[in-house]
Amino acid sequence: MSSKFKPPIGNLSQISGKCISLVGDDIDTDRIIPARFLKCIDFDSLGKYVFDDDRKTLKGNHPFDLETNKGASILVVNSNFGCGSSREHAPQALMRWGIKAIIGESFADIFYSNCIAIGIPCFTLPKKSIKEIQKYQDIENLFLEIDLFESTAKAEELKFNLEIKETSKKMFLSGEWDATSKLLENKELIDNRLNSLPYIQFNSDSF
Amino acid sequence: MSQDTLFDKVWDLHKVANLPGGSDQILIGLHLIHEVTSPQAFGALKDKNLKVKFPQRTVATVDHIVPTDNQSRPFKDNLAEQMIDTLEKNCIEHKIKFFNIGSGNQGIVHVVAPELGLTQPGMTIACGDSHTSTHGAFGSIAFGIGTSQVRDVLATQTIAMNKLKVRQIWCENKLSNGIYAKDLVLHIINQLGVKAGVGYAYEFAGPAISALSMEERMTICNMSIEGGARCGYINPDEKTFSYMKNKLCSPQNENWGKAVKWWKSLESSDNCIYDDVFKLDASKVEPTITWGITPGQSIGVNQKIPSLNEINPNDQFIAEEAYEYMGFKPGQSIKNTPIDVCFIGSCTNGRISDLRVAAKILKHNKVAKHIKAFVVPGSEKVAKEAKKEGLDKIFIKAGFQWREPGCSMCLAMNSDKLIGNQVSASSSNRNFKGRQGSPNGRTLLMSPAMVAAASLTGKVSDVRDFINK
C-alpha cells in the first residue's frame, strides 16, 4: 500500500515546532476520529477528518481550524487524552494533520502505545505546567524545542522538564521503535515459548 | 509490584524475552481480528514482505460495519462492502479461519470467541478492539491493541508491552434483586474514576463477583477499559469450567481433565501481592445510569445529577462539559428523563441472558408510542437461541425491531444512528459525545433490564417497579 504521507523513521531526538493547545479532560478517540471515518482500508485520508464532529460544532473556532494554529506540530492536552476505543486511526489522523509530539497531563494506555508504535512521542507534565503553556497559547503561538535525550521542552523564557516512559525514550533515541523487526529477532524463543504452553498441548487446531 | 496473582502467572508464562528498551516481549495465545482494525495491518505485512507467522492462532469475524437490517451482499454501503471484502481476501490469502455472516458463528468478536470455547483461562488474548478485556471473565489476560500491534501479532505472534500493575477490586456481599452486572461495573467506574485504571489490570473478586454468571462476568470485564484498565479479569472457577464444557473449541475427552487441572493452578494465590486493593459493598449498588459524557458520570436511578461541589475537583471540568452537552442541570432527577431511542445489544450486553432479562420485562407489554426500540443479538448463536426460546416474538410483539447480529448503534458504524440530539437508553458501553452516530446525540448507559423498562414508559424508570409487580 503506497501513500504520499511519509511516516517518521529512524532515531528521534529533537522535535521543534509550533504548539497547538486543546483544552479538556477525557478527550476520547471517538472525538479524535468519529467512527464513520473508520470505514477505510488505509489511513491516508484521515488527516482532514481529525476532530470532525467537534470542529463542525464549533464552526471554525476549534483549535484545529484556527488560522494561527496552521502548521503546528506539538499538541498540548490535559488529562486522560485518547481514552476509549483502541482505534489507531486516532493518532494516525493526528499525525497526518501534522502532529509530531504530544505533551499532556496524562494519556490513556492504548492510545499511548499506539502513538509510540507509529512514532509520536507522548510526554507528561504536571497540571500546573500544562496550564501555563495553554494560557500562553491564548496570547500568541508558542514554539517549543523538545530535546528527547534531555527530556526538556524549551521556548525563549520557558523551560519544562518532560516525563516520558524510559522504554519509549530509549526506543526513540535508538531508532528501534519500529517493533516488528525487533520482535522477529527472537524467532526461536517465540517458537519454544509457544510450544511449551500447556494449552497448546490440550487444544486441537481444528476449528 | 504484584506477585503470584493470576496476572503475574499468565504474564510470566507468555514472556518471550526482555526487549532492549526495557519492555517485555509477550506471546499472544489467541489473536482475534475484525474488519475495522486489520486491513492496514495486513497492508503493512505486505509492505514489509512478511507472512502471518501462526495463522492457526488468529480467528476472524465481521461485526463493526455489518448492517443489521439487510445483510445480503453486496452491502448497500460501498465502503462497508469494501471492508468485508478485504477481510475475506486477507483471510483466504493468509489461511485464517473466518466466521463470516451466515456461518452460524458470526457476531461481535467478544461474544463469538467465548461461545466457541476459543477464549480459555490462562491464555493471552489480543484484538484490535478495546473491549477485548471481556475475555478476562474466563481468567485470561486479554487486552485491546492498535493496528501496528495487530501487524506485530500477525507477523510474530508477539507484542512489546510493559507489564501492568494489578489492582484487586473486591466486591463484598451480593447484588440486590433488580440490580445487574452492568449496574455494578458502572458503579465501580464511578467510584474509581475513568482514569484510575491506567497502567493497571483489574482483578474483580469477592462474593458478589463469584455469584455472577459467566455472561455477567463478561459484562464486568468488558467495561474495565471504561475505567482506564486495558485488562480486567476474574479467577476461573467451577462456573467457568461448566460454561466451557463441550464448546466447539474447548479441550475434548481426556484433554478436558488436564485442562481443568491446569486452569485451577492459575488462580491468584492466597498469599499473592496486589499493587492496590479497592473494596466496595455490592449490596449498596442501585440501578445505575450515566448522566454525562464519560462512563464514570453515573448515578443511581433515584439520585439527582450531582452539582459541581459534589464532584472531585479533577472531574469538574468534564462535568461542566457534560451538563452543557446533555442539557441537564445539576440537582435534576435522572428518573423520568424522556427517551427517544432504546438499544439493546453490544459486546457488553448483547448475550442471551441479557435478551432473556429484557424479554421478561417486555412480555405482555407495549413500548411507548414515540420510542424507536431495537434489539441486536450479539451473535448468530445468540439470535438462534433467542428464536428457539421465542424471545424474538416477545420483542417484536412489544414493539421492538428484531435485527441481525453486529455492533450496530454501540458505535454507529453502520446505518443505526441517533438523529440530532435524540436521547438513547442504551445497553452499550460508551456515552461519549457523538458516539452513537449523531454529533449531538445523547446516550444514557444502563442495564438491558433498565432499557426495557425505559422503552415501556418512554422515560428513565426504575426496573424494580416492573420486576416486583
CA distance B56 to A203: 12
Burial string for B279-313 (b: 16+ CB within 10 Å, else e) reads ebebeebbbbbbbbbbbbbbbbbeebbbeeeebee
B226 and B333 in a single domain? The answer is no
Q: How far is CA B317 from CA B80, B113, B249, B309, B312, in A?
A: 37, 39, 48, 12, 10
Q: Nearest CA to CA, how far is B366 from chain A (Å)?
A: 33
Domain around B239: 6-264
pLDDT in tens, B263-279: 999 999 999 999 999 99
pLDDT value at residue A179? 86
Residue B452: which of B356, B328, B378, B327 has the closest Cα? B356
Residue A165: which of A207, A109, A127 has the closest Cα? A109
* Residue B271 forms part of a structural domain: no
B260 and B335 in a single domain? The answer is no
Q: Which residues of chain A carry a pLDDT beneath 50?
A: 1-2, 207
Chain A residue with CA closest to B146: the answer is A88
pLDDT value at residue A5? 80
Interface check for A202 against chain B (CB to CB < 8 A): the answer is yes
Interface check for A182 against chain B (CB to CB < 8 A): the answer is yes
B209 and B336 in a single domain? The answer is no
Q: Do A189 and B148 touch (CB under 8 A)?
A: no
Among the partner residues B123, B199, B433, nearest to A31 by beta-carbon distance = B433
Residue B376 above 50 pLDDT?
A: yes
Residue from B9, B11, B25, B59 to probe the interface with A (highest A Cβ count within 10 Å)? B25
Q: Do A28 and B228 touch (CB under 8 A)?
A: no
Chain B residue with CA closest to A44: the answer is B40
Count how many domains chain B has: 2
B342 and B232 in a single domain? The answer is no
Q: Residue B469's pLDDT band (boundaries 50, 70, 90)? A: low
A83 neighbourhood in chain B, CB within 8 Å: 194-195, 228, 294
Q: Nearest CA to CA, how far is A156 from chain B (Å)?
A: 30
Among the partner residues A36, A80, A180, nearest to B156 by beta-carbon distance = A180
Among the partner residues B13, B39, B321, nearest to A24 by beta-carbon distance = B321
Could you give the angle at the alpha carbon of B205 between the alpha carbons of B202 and B211, nearest 5°? 135
Interface check for A30 against chain B (CB to CB < 8 A): the answer is yes
pLDDT value at residue A1? 41
Could you give the angle at the alpha carbon of B205 between the alpha carbons of B199 and B210, nearest 5°? 145
B191 and B79 in a single domain? The answer is yes
Q: Do B161 and A204 touch (CB under 8 A)?
A: no
Q: What is the mean pLDDT of residues B162-186?
A: 98
The domain that holds B199 is classified in CATH as 3.30.499.10
B14 and B53 in a single domain? The answer is yes
A49 neighbourhood in chain B, CB within 8 Å: none
Q: Is the peptide bond before B74 cis (omega within 30 degrees of 0)?
A: yes
B12 and B122 in a single domain? The answer is yes
Exposed/middle/buried for residue A61 (C-beta within 10 Å: 0-12, 13-18, 19+)? exposed
Contact B224, B230 (CB under 8 A): yes
- Residues 83-122 on A with a CB inside 8 Å of B are 83-89, 91, 106-110, 113-114, 117-118
B332 and B218 in a single domain? The answer is no
pLDDT value at residue A10? 85
Burial string for B49-83 (b: 16+ CB within 10 Å, else e) reads ebebbbbebbbbbbbbbbbbeebeeebebeebbbb
pLDDT in tens, B108-125: 999 999 999 999 999 999
Q: Do B412 and A36 touch (CB under 8 A)?
A: yes
CB pairs under 8 A between A and B: 232
pLDDT value at residue B55? 97
* Residue B118 forms part of a structural domain: yes
Q: Nearest CA to CA, how far is A176 from chain B (Å)?
A: 9
Q: Nearest CA to CA, how far is A73 from chain B (Å)?
A: 22
Interface check for B88 against chain A (CB to CB < 8 A): the answer is no
Q: Do B59 and A24 touch (CB under 8 A)?
A: no
Mean per-residue pLDDT of chain B:
97
B243 and B293 in a single domain? The answer is no
Q: Residue B93's pLDDT band (boundaries 50, 70, 90)? A: very high
* Residue B186 forms part of a structural domain: yes
Q: Do A194 and B50 touch (CB under 8 A)?
A: no
pLDDT in tens, B305-316: 999 999 999 999
Per-domain boundaries in chain A = 14-176
CA distance B441 to B343: 13
* Residue B282 forms part of a structural domain: no
- Residues 272-311 on B with a CB inside 8 Å of A are 293-294
B225 and B364 in a single domain? The answer is no
pLDDT value at residue A2? 43
Cell of B432: 461519549
Give the torsion sign (CA, B393, B397, B398, B404): positive
B237 and B156 in a single domain? The answer is yes
Interface check for A137 against chain B (CB to CB < 8 A): the answer is no
pLDDT in tens, A158-205: 999 999 999 999 999 988 877 898 999 999 999 999 999 999 989 876
Class of domain A14-176: alpha beta
B205 and B317 in a single domain? The answer is no
The most distant pair of C-alpha atoms in chain A lies apart, rounded to whole Å, by: 65
Residue B257 above 70 pLDDT?
A: yes
Interface check for A188 against chain B (CB to CB < 8 A): the answer is no
Q: Residue B100's pLDDT band (boundaries 50, 70, 90)? A: very high
